[in-house]
Amino acid sequence: FTGDAVHLVRDPRFSELLGLARVGVCESSYIARGYQGRRVPGLTDKDFVTQERNAEMVEQSDRYLVL
């Protein structure tokens, strides 16, 4: 999740995704949207990533979807 999509991790239904996919949240986007210091149940510090992780995912994938 990056950009405005980080707001979705605050949705009560977000936890339904955990365990279904590897979830990464752009730390810069999360902080920029005012969530610094606010924990997300089910996520650890390692789940907050940089754009480098985003680039790695794209490189490892045959296809990717941007919403």
Task: Supply the pLDDT for residue 57.
Answer: 80
pLDDT at 31 over 80: yes
Q: For 29-51, what is the mean pLDDT?
A: 93
Task: Supply the pLDDT for residue 55.
Answer: 85
How many angstroms separate the CA atoms of 59 and 49, rounded? 16
Q: pTM for the full model? A: 0.80
Contacts of residue 10, Cβ cutoff 8 Å, sequence gap at least 6: 35, 40
pLDDT at 17 over 80: yes
Q: For 44-64, what is the mean pLDDT?
A: 87
How many angstroms separate the CA atoms of 52 and 8, rounded? 21
